[in-house]
Amino acid sequence: GAGVSQSPSNKVTEKGKDVELRCDPISGHTALYWYRQSLGQGLEFLIYFQGNSAPDKSGLPSDRFSAERTGGSVSTLTIQRTQQEDSAVYLCASSLGIVRRAGNEQFFGPGTRLTVL
């Protein structure tokens, strides 16, 4: 089946605008993760979904960032009033998310490259 897909692949926006980034996980994967990767940096965890709920939002950098997931599938990451420091590649990953089962591999999407001018 299809892997994790993300759209758009590239987004250029002006400072102060809102943006929405979309993630389509692998069908049947209940766990979904958002990460941010800035130039030359490692992966920064943003938020984790199990089904439609988000038990861990601890990585969201500010209240300008929010995310939702509907139907246990598609997720949208919204950044309001974008700032230049938000420029990064935003990666989404999904996994089977089976509780108490070890070794749930994450499958990553290709990412959305966000540039804030």
Partner 1 sequence: AQSVTQLDSHVSVSEGTPVLLRCNYSSSYSPSLFWYVQHPNKGLQLLLKYTSAATLVKGINGFEAEFKKSETSFHLTKPSAHMSDAAEYFCVVTGTGGYQKVTFGTGTKLQVIP
- Selected binder of partner 1 within 47, 111, 112, 114 (CB under 8 A): 111
Residues that bind partner 1 (rule: CB under 8 A) add up to a total of 27
User: What's the distance, Cα to Cα, between the start and end of the chain in Å?
Assistant: 37
Site string for partner 1, 2-41 (x = CB under 8 A): -----------------------------x-x-x-----x
- Selected binder of partner 1 within 13, 66, 76, 104 (CB under 8 A): 104
In the complex, least distance from residue 26 CB atom to partner 1, rounded to whole angstroms: 13
69 to 15, 34, 39, 55, 83: CA distances (angstroms) = 26, 11, 27, 12, 24
DSSP state of 80: -
Q: How far apart are CA 103 and CA 97, in angstroms?
A: 9
Q: Which two tokens stand for residue 67?
A: 């995310």
Binding stretches for partner 1 (CB under 8 A): 31, 33, 35, 41-43, 45, 48, 50, 55-56, 91, 93, 95, 97, 99-106, 108-111
